Amino acid sequence: MSNIDTVLFDFDGTVMNTNDVIMMSWQHTFRTLEGREEDPEVLLRTFGEPLETTMKKFFPNVPTDEAIEVYRSFHRDNFGEFISLFPGMKELIQEVKTRGYKVGLVTSRLLNTTMQGLEKYGIKQYFDAIITADDTTKHKPDPEPVNIVLRKLDSAPEHTIMLGDTLFDLLCARNAKVTSVLVSWSLALGGKTKEELGDAAPDYIIDKPEELLEII
């Protein structure tokens, strides 16, 4: 795809393996507020969804701000210890940058932990623009986060490709009219085929980070 000049990455589950700390934070929240743990499959289906949205669904009788603080306090305390880069991802981001592509990060995570993860693994400097939940009023699957990063990068949707791991990423890419790539190491969607994903089907599925280089 020689017309691509911009590569966008999701953070959680795509660049950074945050699966364990997210699951731990949810179970801590359920134990604290309801004295029980939730089915991990139920939690998986919320991966990529804005936290406030999920909290309102799970705990309708608890003030949302209170529930979010229970989750975030545990998450902040444990984030640095339980995250890791997916193998090959740092090398991919470096190579994409070296080849002259504009590189952006689009996440529904807050800025503070996003930066903590990027700085821990020394990859912050490869991103020309970083859009987090702090920068938007609407979140994935709404196209607003991608539209904002495209304006910052002076990029056009038709020249942009986006990697993600959840339905929210794929639908966001589609709504923003950018080419979508599902990473098969996704905990939420790994093993799914384009046919199984229906309206959210990505343009491409990759099994290893370096396979992106064959597409762009």
- Please identify every residue annotated as catalytic: 10
14 backbone φψ class: left, alpha, beta (φ>0; ψ -120 to 50)? alpha
CA angle 141, 88, 7 (to 5 degrees): 40
The whole-angstrom separation of Cα 1 and Cα 28 is 44
Q: How many CB atoms lie within 10 A of CB 191?
A: 8
The whole-angstrom separation of Cα 214 and Cα 37 is 42
Task: Note if the bond before 145 is cis, omega within 30 degrees.
Answer: no
Per-residue CA distances from 161 to 61, 164, 174 (Å): 40, 10, 11
The set of residues, in sequence order, having a beta carbon less than 8 Å from that of 180 and lying 6+ positions away, is 161, 162, 164, 169, 170, 173, 174, 202, 203, 204
Strand partners, 181: 163, 204
